[in-house]
């Protein structure tokens, strides 16, 4: 399994002109890099999904979305379904981002339903887990992660488990320019791996990749990904600048 570099563009890229500039710059920059051992996933706002898929999807680049609903169709005003995004070019979806928990009150039970629906539609899922600053200070990191994984991954079909990727994203590191130490990330990775083995058995647990997310950039990538031996990264702000985003991908690729 190659290393995975996921870009979460969040609620940015506001105009057609801005979108076109982004795609052009991304294509140009990608053409200058070898990137033999990494897979790249770009998750634009869903309004840009079809355009991004047409322009950028292929080779080592896949397109994803930042959220989906848990049913395929029906009277769910404002929602977008996994089947829709699949049909419009998405192969990945981010589920459980801390901003979904914080601003929309989404729960692990909802994330579980979303993941089941995503897997049913053959989408790959990046499931985010991680502690808040308060939970970290109260030494609750392990139990928070265990609970999020326990509820989030309940009764998922084992045959599709290789489509699940876990992103360890400490909430306090998202958008903050603060990152955990190499040891803290290594401990989180060991904990996640242990929980996966207990839940799924070693054979299936081994198929699940574990990424790091939160203030990843070209300067932090060694500490947060390479040294702790993570399977890749989930990148927010820096994914808005193709040169910076692909620089992160290149650093990881050169160190495989």
Catalytic annotation, residues: 97, 169
Q: Which of residues 150-209 bind ligand PGA (CB under 6 A)?
A: 169, 174-175
220 binds ligand PGA (CB under 6 A): no
Instruction: State the minimum distance, in angstroms, from the CB of residue 73 to ligand PGA.
Output: 29
Answer for which of 144, 145, 216, 252 binds ligand PGA (CB under 6 A) is: 216
Kindly report the number of other CB atoms within 10 A of residue 79's CB atom: 14
Q: Give min distance, CB of 184 to ligand PGA, in A.
A: 16
| Binding test (CB under 6 A) with ligand PGA, winner from 236, 242, 250, 252 | 236
With contact defined as beta carbons under 8 Å apart, do 95 and 118 qualify? yes
Site for ligand PGA in 124-153 (CB under 6 A): none
Q: Which residue is nearest to ligand PGA (CB)?
A: 236
Which residues inside 4-23 make contact with ligand PGA, applying CB under 6 A?
Answer: 8
Write down the least CB distance from residue 201 to ligand PGA, Å.
29
- Token pair of 133 as six digits: 């600053």
Distance from C-alpha of 213 to C-alpha of 130, rounded to nearest angstrom: 9
State the nearest-atom distance from the C-beta of 244 to ligand PGA, in Å.
11
On the CB side of 19, CA atoms within 13 Å amount to: 19
Identify the CA nearest to 41 among candidates 83, 88, 84, 93.
Answer: 93
Applying CB under 6 A, among 117, 145, 234, 246 the residue interacting with ligand PGA is 234
* CB burial readout 4-37, b (16+ within 10 A) else e: bbbbbbbeebeeeeebeebbeebeebbeeeebee
For residue 59, what are its two tokens? Answer: 């080779």
Residues that bind ligand PGA (CB under 6 A): 8, 169, 174-175, 213-216, 234-237
């Amino acid at each position: 399994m190659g290393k995975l570099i996921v870009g979460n563009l969040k609620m940015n890229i506001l105009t057609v002109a801005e979108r076109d500039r982004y795609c052009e710059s991304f294509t140009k920059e990608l053409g200058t890099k070898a990137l033999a051992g990494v897979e790249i996933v770009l998750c634009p706002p869903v309004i840009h999904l079809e355009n991004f898929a047409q322009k950028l999807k292929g080779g080592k680049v896949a397109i994803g979305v930042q959220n989906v609903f848990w049913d395929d169709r029906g009277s769910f005003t404002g929602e977008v379904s996994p089947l829709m995004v699949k049909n419009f070019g998405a192969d990945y979806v981010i589920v459980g981002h801390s901003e979904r928990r914080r601003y929309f009150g989404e729960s692990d039970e909802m994330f579980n339903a979303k993941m089941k629906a995503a897997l049913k539609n053959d989408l790959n899922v990046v499931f985010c887990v991680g502690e808040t600053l308060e939970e970290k200070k109260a030494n609750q990191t392990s139990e928070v992660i265990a609970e999020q994984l326990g509820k989030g991954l309940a009764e998922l079909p084992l045959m599709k488990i290789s489509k699940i990727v876990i992103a360890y994203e400490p909430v306090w590191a998202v958008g903050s320019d603060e990152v955990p130490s190499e040891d803290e990330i290594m401990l989180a990775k060991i904990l996640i791996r242990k929980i996966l083995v207990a839940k799924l058995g070693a054979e299936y647990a081994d198929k699940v990749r574990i990424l790091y997310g939160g203030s990843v950039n070209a300067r932090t990538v060694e500490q947060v990904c390479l040294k702790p031996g993570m399977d890749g990264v989930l990148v927010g702000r820096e994914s808005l600048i193709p040169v910076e985003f692909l620089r992160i991908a290149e650093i990881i690729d050169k160190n495989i």
